[in-house]
Structure 1
Amino acid sequence: MRATFAKGQCVRGTYTPTGDAEQVTRSISFTRPWPLIGRFSVGGGNPSAPDTARTVLRGFSIKILSDGGETHLLFENAPVHFARTLDQMLAFLQVRAPGPDGKPNPEAVTAFAKANPETTRQAAFVAGKPLPASYAGIVYWGVHAFTGVNSAGRAAPFKFKVVPAAGEIALSDEEAKGKPPQFLVAELTERLSKGPARFDVVAMLAEPGDDLTNDITLRWKNEDDRRAVKLGTIAVTAIEPNETCDEGIFDPGQLADGIEAPQDEIFEARRTAYGISFGLRAK
C-alpha cells in the first residue's frame, strides 16, 4: 500500500486546452488535447479509511498522456502543505509515532504544534470545510509554485488550482451521519453514468513579492482573487481498474517541456521519495 493516500480510485478521462493556455506555457501537455489517467484518493495510510472522516485530506492525481512527454500532477483539497522544511516534516511525523500503548502522545503533539504553528495551517483549513460529498465536487490545489514558459520564452510563475464544474458539493454534519463509511466511489460511479465530471485547470499567476521557493505552508496574498488563466478542462469519463494506477506512480518530477519544477525543498524530496516508495511496495 502507499504510505499515504493509500485509499483511492483510478479513473480515466481527457484534457482539453483553452486558447489562453499558451499565455502561460508552451507545454504540449497543456496546449493540446490528450487522454489522461487520474486517481482520486483519501489521505493517510489506511486503505479502508472511512469517507466520513471530515478532517482527512482528499487527493486528485493525474497523468496527462501527452505523446512525446507526459506530465504528472498531484493535487489536494488544501492550498498549503503541513510542513515548511524537510526537518520539520520529519519531526511532525515522528511526534505522531505510536508509543508503547499504540497511540501517539497527545501532549507531545500539542507541544510540537505550539512550537511549530505553521504545521497547523493545513489541518485548520480542512477542518473549516464541510465533509466532501463527492470527489467531483472538491476544489483541489497544487500547493507548490511552478513556472510556465510560453512560446516566446517568457516565464510565468503560478500555482495550480482545479475547480469542479459542479461547484463544491458537501454534506452537513447531520447528512454525514447517514452516509456509509465507503460512499465516495459509489457516488462517483453513479455520477459518471450520467456524464463526465468536469474540472477547470487554472493557473493562479504570481505577483511581485510572492514566495516562489520556500514556505509552502503559506498562501500567496489574495491568492484566490488575483489574475488567473484557465489552462483547460479535465473531463473524468469513467472508472478505471485500480491496477492501472498501481502499476506505476504519479511522478511529480515528470513535467513536459514548458513547465519547470518548483524549487522548494519539499517538492525536490518528493521527486525521489515517490520512486523509493513504489519500489518498496512493488516487492
Structure 2
Amino acid sequence: MGDIEGSSNAAHGALHMKSEAIEATEHAEKTGLLGRIFGSLSASATTEEQEEQQDAVSEVQPHGMINLRRMRVEDVAIPSAEIVAVPVTIESDDLVQVFRDSGFTRVPVYEGTLDTPLGFAHLKDFALTHGFNCGAEPFNLREMLRPLLFVPPSMPIGVLLAKMQAERRHMALVIDEYGGVDGLVTIEDLIEQVIGEIEDEHDTGEDQTWFREKSGCYIAQARTPLDEFEAEIGQSLTNHDDVDEEEIDTLGGLVFMLSGRVPARGEVIVHPDGPEFEIMDADPRRIKRLRVLVPNAAE
C-alpha cells in the first residue's frame, strides 16, 4: 500500500513539475518584445480600480509602454503632404525611380488623387514580376496591389499596433471624418514609440546629423550641434535679440526657442535673419528632423 501511495505521489510530483516547465516555456515565448507589448495591452484597465492600480505601477513601467495607451495615431502619423504615393497609371520606369529616390519598399497607390487610395505597391512584388530592367512581362500595377489598412486619427497607437500585428500589415492610411487621407503610419513608427528611434540603412550615421539636399537646403536632425551647422552654412543663427546662445546648443533647441513651443509636422518656423526651418518629423514632446532653407548658404 505504501509503495502504491509513494508511486502515486512521485507520479503526481512529476506531472506537477512538467506542468510548471510547460508554463515557464509558454511564458518565455510570450516575453519577447511584441509579446510584452501585446501582453501589456491585454491588461488594459476596464474599471476605476484597475486604472488606479495602473497609475500606481506606471512609475516602474517603461515610458514607451505607457505611450501605447496615451498616444493617438494622429500623434505619430506622417501628414498627407509628406506621403510618397503614386498614381495607378504610373509607368514601370517611373515607379522604379520612385523606389530609388525614396528608399521605401512600400508605396501607396491612388486613382486620381490620394483621397482615392487603391492599395500599395511592394518593391518585392515588382522586382519578382518584372525585375528592375522591366522585362517582357506586361506591366499592370493594379494587379500587384496589396490591401491597405484604414484607421481613424483618434485610435490609440497600442490598438493599431495590435491590429497591424494580427492582420500582418505594415502600413496604414489615416482617414479623416470626411473620408479623405489625413496621413500615413507604419508599424516602425509605432514600435519607435516603445523602444526609441530605429536607425536603418537609409538614416544618417551617428556622426552625420545633416546632409545637403541641394544648394541652400539641408536635411538635419534636431540634435545637430548648432555651432557645427553654423560653420557649415557660414552664418550665425544666434546673433539676434530673439535668441540667447547661452541657452541652446542644437538646431532643435533653436527652433523651440524661436517658436516658444514644440511645433507640429509641416510647420515652418522663420528665423529673423532669413533661414526657414520646416518641421519634417516631430511628436508632441520633441522635434526630430528638420529641413533648413538658407538663402545665403556658403557653397
TM bin, normalised by shorter chain, reads under 0.3
> TM-score, length-normalised on structure 1?
0.20
**Structure number, greater radius of gyration:** 2
Which gives a bigger RCO, structure 1 or 2 (Cα 8 Å, sep 6+)? 1
- Return the structure number with greater helix share: 2
> TM-score, length-normalised on structure 2?
0.20
- Return the structure number with greater strand share: 1
